[in-house]
Amino acid sequence: MTRILLLGGTTEASALARALADSGADAVFSYAGRTKAPMAQPLPTRVGGFGGVPGLVRYLRAAGITHLIDATHPFAAGMSRNAIAAAGETGVAYCALERPAWVAGPGDDWHHVADMAGAVAALPDDPARVFLAIGKQHVADFAAKPQHHYLLRLVDAPDGPLPLPDAQAVIARGPFTTDADRALMADHRITHIVAKNGGGAGARAKLDAARDLGLPVILIDQPALPPRRTFDSAKDVMRWLGHATDRGV
Ligand code: 3Y8
Ligand code: NAP
């Protein structure tokens, strides 16, 4: 009997959830609970951490999960490492729905850095106007360069004052569009963009807008993950599951 746990939080995870629901699969969708009102999914949904690897192992066993699908964001490395470990410990079938990193094309002015510290270091010393499109969790890292004006984009309104002396937040949940991102950056006279190389379509707009405006992008590389079975489309994951259900796993 196939029972699936889908670790979500991305556009691709939502597409897979739709395919699983349409196929009548017995599946549970999982959010971390990072945002106040995550988008509803067409599957029974659980919200919140599991409690590290031990908590996830307990959940997999208690819920009778036979297949664990990691469709989290490439920067959700902690969750992905835990999922690999828990699948190994329990023998639950595992795959990741992975989206390839973005690759620069003609006209792109991208500066690749290894991590958040590298992104801070890559900003100029002279005051600039920076579109910090990396969410909320790492904004405080940029307090090391307070001379810049920062435009933040957050999913939820900040609870308290922003940890930067000269910052303004727009509240929006993607997916975003190139036209809207181009207008946003022009209106705010942005000179630099900082972004994670998240891949996928849902966050790509700002990069295309940056190229149109001739702006440099500081792009943070995806964290490295242990080797794992990956697919790059919901279709391939469904085929993998289909074989499993054909064999009556
Ligand atoms: C809680 C679920 C869907 C999923 C949509 C994708 C696209 C829009 C682009 C910018 C970049 C950023 C951020 C971003 C994008 C999609 C996808 C994606 C980037 C939601 C969601 C959850 C989160 C968590 C949130 C993080 C933050 C990162 C904002 C829902 C909307 C910046 C990543 O306030 C916080 O603490 C936010 C935290 C992790 C990164 C950070 O460090 O702050 N995503 N994003 C998920 C959960 O609880 O499990 O609320 O509906 C999902 C989506 N965000 O179903 O269509 O697939 O990438 N998410 C980045 O790429 O840098 C925004 O502004 O241009
Ligand atoms: P993370 O740093 O890798 O994970 C930290 C902890 O959050 C995990 O150990 C786990 O807690 C919990 N967690 C993460 N994802 C979970 C999920 N889908 N279901 C249940 N628990 C989860 O994760 P993150 O980068 O904060 O990402 C959190 C969520 O936002 C994920 O769903 C991810 O797909 C989504 N997201 C993240 C980004 C990003 O830039 N990081 C971008 C877009 C979407 P326990 O150890 O207690 O189990």
- Of all atoms in ligand 2, which is nearest to the CA of residue 78? 3
Per-residue model confidence (pLDDT) at position 69: 98
Q: Are 218 and 193 in contact (CB under 8 A)?
A: yes
Ligand 2 centroid vs 201 CA: distance in angstroms?
Answer: 19
CA-closest candidate to residue 81, choices 197, 233, 224, 241:
224
Which tens digits make up the pLDDT trace of 86-145?
Answer: 999 999 999 999 999 999 999 999 999 999 999 999 999 999 999 999 999 999 999 999
Per-residue model confidence (pLDDT) at position 245: 57
- Delineate the domains of the chain, giving CATH numbers in brackets: 4-100+225-247 (3.40.50.720), 110-220 (3.40.50.720)
CA quadruple 51, 10, 138, 95: dihedral sign: positive
Per-residue model confidence (pLDDT) at position 187: 98
Q: Is the pTM of this model over 0.85?
A: yes
Per-residue model confidence (pLDDT) at position 85: 98
The residue whose CA has the least distance to atom 9 of ligand 2 is 79
Per-residue model confidence (pLDDT) at position 105: 95
Counting as low any pLDDT under 70, the low residues of the chain are 243-249
Q: Note if the bond before 124 is cis, omega within 30 degrees.
A: no
Per the document, the length of the chain is 249
Per-residue model confidence (pLDDT) at position 244: 59
Per-residue model confidence (pLDDT) at position 174: 87
Per-residue model confidence (pLDDT) at position 182: 98
Any ligand 2 atom below 6 A from CB of 76: yes
